[in-house]
Structure 1
């Protein structure tokens, strides 16, 4: 029996809107404060990773092992978050990435459900600033998720809250850890970015502007039939 596509689950940062620059600037400020050589290239490793795990990766840049208590780690992570929240407060509806409004409208018309599965605890604030609260059937609360991507927990939570089997879902990500999480969740994995960065994705688009509901249905059908 063929399993038809019933839901599309989106990452937020880099898929619905590009908050990557906001994250970079906030982490860069923390890195500068700690005199760590934080670069845009290293920032790529933080995509799709939780705040505390991102902080630990940032601290690994120190040539000498930095010792912090759990309280100090949480304080640093919270300071980064406050910087980030100041930056994202400027996000507006026109900051939705190309092709996303049209894709969501098409999915809705076809009766295909939609969800946000983001590691960001600020997902609700970003979606609110984009004025897209009514566009998604489910926005997973990252505060309820224990395991960061590439663990599939957040995608499985989205499917469960939608009332859909994982195999009936397509996940869309722009981070390697996110694509791995989608595959681990037994979903069809769509990547946004350069194809060579996502060897395990079922399909890669160079940008969100290329996303197409009919193609997603076709890709999902082919993956299910393998």
Structure 2
């Protein structure tokens, strides 16, 4: 029985992924290479410092000290925050608020499960924070996806069993994390980008509560 729906943030609720890409791309130029959108696919659902490790590899700077990696990663985050400071409700992706309203009306709990450390301000700026019963973000977890910690914490915080949950994800690492947690998963994207997703949609708006109940 479906009791909890967990949403990833970037690329599922809002397209903040494009802002992350622009910030990483600018950093790539500073490190001496052009960071592409294809390379950015591997960053979805991954922690900031893990992304920074990949950037160092791409730039041929594997010997960069940890302290310098952290400094540059924070610099990237400052750029990202500058880009999203004016984000509004009209930047929600198709069907998100409609499904959130339907879930609330049906008495189904809603949680956020995201690696982002900036999740709360984004939910506040887009005026949807009140729909969420739990927000598990990068400030609350120690392990990045594909570790299932973020989703397991959401279920635990609300006292719900893992097999009573569905996760919406747009990243391979996130889908893997949900599957490891024993949760049903809906991928937002294409078969090419999400080969490990059994159920695929272009956006959240293409799904219904009736369908969600069928797969749990």
Alpha carbons 2:98, 2:205 under 8 Å: kept:
no
* Cα separation, 1, equivalents of 2:29 and 2:99: 39
* Cα separation, 2, equivalents of 1:196 and 1:61: 23
Instruction: Report whether the alignment pairs 1:56 with 2:53.
Output: yes
**Cα offset for 1:69?**
1.6
Q: Deviations over 1:10-39 (max 9, x none)?
A: 000011101011000000111111112311
**Cα offset for 1:207?**
2.0
Instruction: Report whether the alignment pairs 1:8 with 2:9.
Output: no
Partner of 1:44: 41
* Cα separation, 1, equivalents of 2:173 and 2:83: 24
Partner-residue secondary structure (3-state), 2:139: helix
Query: Which moved further from structure 2: 197-206 or 30-39?
Result: 197-206
Alpha carbons 2:169, 2:186 under 8 Å: kept:
yes
Q: So what's the TM-score if we normalise by structure 1?
A: 0.92
- 1:81-160 paired onto structure 2 within 5 Å: 81-160=77-156
Q: So what's the TM-score if we normalise by structure 2?
A: 0.96
**Cα offset for 1:116?**
0.3
* Cα separation, 1, equivalents of 2:203 and 2:105: 23
Query: Which moved further from structure 2: 109-118 or 64-73?
Result: 64-73
Q: Deviations over 1:129-175 (max 9, x none)?
A: 11111011011132221111111000001111111011000000001
- 1:172-187 paired onto structure 2 within 5 Å: 172-187=168-183
* Cα separation, 2, equivalents of 1:94 and 1:193: 20
Alpha carbons 1:188, 1:202 under 8 Å: kept:
no
What is the number of equivalent residue pairs in this alignment? 216
Instruction: Report whether the alignment pairs 1:216 with 2:212.
Output: yes
* Cα separation, 2, equivalents of 1:97 and 1:156: 25
Partner-residue secondary structure (3-state), 1:60: helix
Partner of 1:17: 14
Structure 2: any 5+ residue segments left out of the alignment? none
Q: Deviations over 1:98-136 (max 9, x none)?
A: 111111111111110000000000001111111111011
RMSD over equivalenced CA pairs, Å: 1.1
Alpha carbons 1:195, 1:206 under 8 Å: kept:
no
